[in-house]
Amino acid sequence: MIRLGLLLAAFMTLLAAPPALAQSQVRDFVVASKAFDGNKIGVSPQRRVRVYLPDGYDASGRRYPVVYYLHNLFEDERAAFDRDGFAALLDKAIAARAIPPVIVVAADFSTSLGSSIYTSSPVTGRWDDFMVRDLVPWTDKQFRTLATRDSRGLAGDRMGGYGAIAFGMRHADVFGSVYALHPVGTGLGLQTMSSRPNWDLIQNARSLDDLKADGFSQLFVAIYQAHLPNPDKPPLYADLPARKGPDGRIAVDMALTAKLQNSFLLGQNLSRYADNLKTLRGFKFDWGRNDPNPDHVVSNQAFSRALVEFGVPHEAEEYVGGWGDRTWGPTGRVYTDMLPFFAQNLVYE
């Protein structure tokens, strides 16, 4: 009886013990790339990469799908992990079986102005080549991945959401599913793009550092470097689609503005890439109704309607929330929507 009691006590102790902590890994690497040879603004060819490996990776011997996560403006590959607790959310979702074990790769797509805009340019570098010719092959060689497009997903936050859709448009042969959190740049909003920057600051800038006094000017010059690049026009290395005259009025260059819209805005690119998007296994984006910049709300609504016009299957959801305030945490969109989306649309071993 004493021995039976000891066994029962030991069993009850096991039941009461807390579950073992997930032994996932977050590892940092540097990937060298020739995609930035000759860039004009000093973008380093040594790109930092952060990789999440799920609990059991080392011992399992199995192969895993990969989600490539693209960061927002003025951030890098570390922000989602260091500030937003991405690894803990992944651990929680995998333990709860909201998503099977998955590898997540986040690379640094920033420039001196805060963002590459996820666009290849003779000024900032060949970001498409870095993504599909360097980063994806490096990941497949370095880790036990399921190296097919159906097992690769793209995700991104805000400007990273723009990048996820843009890469998905251009490289649907490499990536099979796309989830964009609150994407920007999907189409025209309520305000003209030329009304956003500080043209006095831009026109008088003697270096890129001069632009950092104003976030909108910094952002829009980054967009111009990506979509109106001019390698022979320092210090901004971009053509300007508008100028402020001595009378204080902004004069718009119609040809450059049309070129900018047709290159940058995702909705303007649908006629070229709709067939690519139709091949995706899954495509979803969302946005917060209470974004203080209503341009994002209006343009995302219009982008969804344009996708319908072109016959592109997708899900688009407007939720009650603001500029990224419903993205992270155990009740945020990453946990409740993005990860279950990839659970449904990625192909697992």
Which SS3 state, helix, strand or coil, does residue 25 take?
strand
Confidence check: pLDDT of 121 > 60? yes
The mean pLDDT value for 74-101 works out to: 97
What's phi and psi for 209, nearest 5 deg?
-65, -30
Which domains are delineated in the chain? 25-188+267-345 (3.40.50.1820), 193-259 (no CATH)
pLDDT of residue 2: 47
3-state secondary structure of 153: strand
Confidence at residue 18, expressed as pLDDT on a 0 to 100 scale: 46
pLDDT band at residue 14 using 50, 70 and 90 as cut-offs:
very low
Q: Considering the chain, what is the average pLDDT of its residues?
A: 94
| pLDDT score of 21 | 57
**Residue 127, pLDDT score:** 98
Mean pLDDT of 108-123: 97
Cβ 65 vs Cβ 145: under 8 Å: yes
User: pLDDT at residue 339 above 70?
Assistant: yes
* 194, 252 Cβ separation under 8 angstroms: yes
Q: How confident is the model at residue 3 (pLDDT cuts 50, 70, 90)?
A: low
Q: What is the largest CA-CA distance in the chain?
A: 99
Task: Report the alpha-carbon distance of residue 152 to residue 145 in Å, rounded.
Answer: 9
On the question of a cis peptide bond just before residue 235, with omega within 30 degrees of 0, the verdict is yes
Query: Residues with Cβ < 8 Å from 135, sequence gap 6 or more?
Result: 31, 47, 49, 68, 105, 107
Q: State the pLDDT confidence band at 229, using cuts at 50, 70 and 90.
A: very high
The 10s digit of each residue's pLDDT in 38-86 is 999 999 999 999 999 999 999 999 999 999 999 999 999 999 999 999 9
Residue 216, pLDDT > 90, answer yes
The Cα–Cα gap between 223 and 107 comes to 20
Structure confidence at residue 13 (pLDDT): 46
What is the C-alpha radius of gyration for the chain, rounded to an integer number of angstroms? 23
- Coil, strand or helix at 102: coil
| pLDDT for position 11 | 44
pLDDT of residue 87 exceeding 60, the answer is yes
> Residue 70 has what pLDDT?
98
- Residue 200, H or E segment: helix 199-204
User: Residue 307: is its pLDDT beyond 80?
Assistant: yes
- Decide: helix, strand or coil at residue 103: strand
Poorest-pLDDT segment among 1-5, 82-86, 133-137? 1-5
CA distance 131 to 309: 30
**For position 264, what pLDDT does the model report?**
98
pLDDT confidence tier of residue 187, bands split at 50, 70 and 90: very high
Taking residues 299-307, report their average pLDDT. Answer: 98
270-278 and 159-170 helices, crossing angle to 10°: 80
pLDDT digit string (tens) for 195-210?
A: 889 999 999 999 999 9
Q: Are 344 and 100 in contact (CB under 8 A)?
A: no
The 10s digit of each residue's pLDDT in 248-292 is 899 999 999 999 999 999 999 999 999 999 999 999 999 999 999
Look up residue 270 and give its two tokens. 């649908």
What is the Cα–Cα distance from 120 to 279, expressed in whole angstroms?
23
